[in-house]
Chains A and B, each alone.
Chain A
Amino acid sequence: MDERPISPVLKGVTLVMFLFLLAPLIVVVPISFSGDAYMAFPPTSWSVKWYGAIFHDAQMTAAFTISILLAIVVTVISLLVGLPAAYALVRLKPRGAEALGSLFTAPLLLPTIVLGLAILLVFAPLGLLGTFQGLVAAHLIVTLPYAVRVLSTALATLPIPVEEAAATLGARPLTVFFKVTLPMMRSGLVSTAALCFLVSFDEVVLSLFMTGPRLSTLPVAMYHHVEQQADPMVASLSVLLVVLTLVVVLIVDRTAGLAKTFVK
């Protein structure tokens, strides 16, 4: 917006800080192509064997399947539960709508370490630890606030006259919702789905409390792997995950616009 020249000092410092910020992501790429048996930088030989190792590691592949399934289930439930809630809060404006909105987003204010412990203490006696249902319930606590918030924003910015026109022309409320409101919310729905998917797929602290020896998610399996041994496999896995994230982000960008979704 301004044409004030940027001083070379600021440019230089910014460059250094950017290098610092991106350093851990950058080094992962060469290490993923390491041919060494242990992690070292720079690697002494090159190969793609660690990419192959991922698919031969039964624990990692199982954890990957669980994580994908979990993220899909959590995303679908978040949309099914979040959309009616957002509709009620934004369109029907019940008394105390703001207080309710705050209550539904409150779980995000708690640090996940505290939330994880709190959920552990309640879920353990119920026998939900180490179960898929337990993981779904725990993840929903952190994805629903995002779902309600993004969907509320999407609903609040829709042009209401279009819906009124449909209603005036004789469409019943449900028809208006499914034929007019929902299609207009498409970008909001896509962003919500992407956000919920990524939050669930990346969630590690809550999952650490909820997983057991028989059931693990990918971030938890990676965490334990890094804790126990330093080999380049996690680097290869990280590169695959970054690519997966990029794909999700690209989908959002194509359908909803990246800047609109993540930078408000």
Chain B
Amino acid sequence: MTAIDLPVAGKRPMSPTAVVMLLLLPIAVINAIGFLWPVVNLLRMSFRDSEASGALLETSGLTTWINVLSDSFTLDLITGSIGVSLFITVLTLVCSYPIALYLHRCSGLWRTVLLVLVIAPLLTSAVVRTYGWIAILSDQGLIANALLALGITPPRLMFNLTGVIIGLTEILMPYMILALLSGFGRLDPRFEEAALTLGATPWKTFWRVVVPLTAPGMALGCLLCFVLAISSFVTPKLLGGGRVFLLATEIYDQAIVTLNWPMAAALSIIILVLFGFALALYTRALRRIA
């Protein structure tokens, strides 16, 4: 609090601008060192080249970008990551929608309890939840043992894409539920009653009244989940067991294992570009809904 002390201690009131600058100085310094400079540096890094030894070549150029965008491995990596993330987003929406709708319809203590149950997973580490999924999906896990007891040979549910999709879907559900709930305010029960009174079946009421009214919440949830899915690292790495290659896991491997920093930087920027696309798509979708 020394920043606020100064004007009093000096007996000479400081100008308001000086006070504001003093109060904002610490956060500005941290932001510049830990955020602005690293991001600018990341961009620069992608235009560098690295030798096989990991030494960086100072020659600035497009070599890394040409490598990234012409190599079939990285192109597959990008399209594969987009596809998997989209699939996970849709799956998360389908799994989350009933919970959100139920939460919207119930009230009182019960609603609070359920809301806490939705938020509880958010407050536990992704490592813990992924570990839980390993316990369910592994060869010694819950599903495998249950199927064996029934005399069925269990399929491989882990160290492949299936495991990654199951785990990520569950991990992202709380975000989707909260996003949906934030948009459910427009869902006035009287609209549904009106549709039902006028002779619509419950099914038709759902598709023609409930879904359109909740579309903005769905758009927000999908944006959030896509962005989180394509950039998540812990779950794909642990449940994929190094056999599932996605953008985020590859960034880490290039940065820490292969030490090809320009490549890691270029892949990071591709993720940011995909973020931009997703955001643009979301804004367009929102405008069309409204």
Contacts and interface: CB of A to CB of B under 8 A. Distances in A.
B127 A117 contact: no
Interface in A223-264: 223, 226-227, 230, 234-235, 238, 241-242, 245, 249, 258-259, 262-263
B80 interface: no
Nearest to A148: B27
B251 A113 contact: yes
A17 interface: yes
B166 to A, nearest CB: 9
B234 A204 contact: yes
A46 to B, nearest CB: 15
Interface string A49-86: 00000000000000000000000000000001110110
B130 interface: yes
B227 interface: yes
A23 B136 contact: yes
Interface size class of B (residues with CB under 8 A): 35 or more
A65 to B, nearest CB: 17
A31 B120 CA distance: 19
Contact of A121 (B45, B131, B173): B45
Interface of A is mostly: helix
A202 B246 CA distance: 23
Nearest to B190: A2
B39 interface: yes
Contacts of B26: 80-81, 84-85
Interface of B: 1, 3-5, 7-8, 16-17, 19-20, 22-24, 26-27, 30-31, 33-35, 37-39, 41-42, 45, 95-96, 98-99, 101-102, 105-107, 112, 114-121, 123-136, 138, 140-142, 145, 167, 170, 173-174, 178, 189, 192-193, 202, 227-228, 230-234, 237-238, 248, 251-252, 255-256, 261, 264-265, 268, 271-272, 275
19 contacts: A1-B107, A6-B102, A23-B170, A41-B135, A88-B23, A89-B24, A92-B16, A94-B16, A112-B233, A113-B233, A121-B45, A121-B261, A122-B37, A208-B256, A209-B252, A230-B138, A245-B123, A259-B112, A263-B119
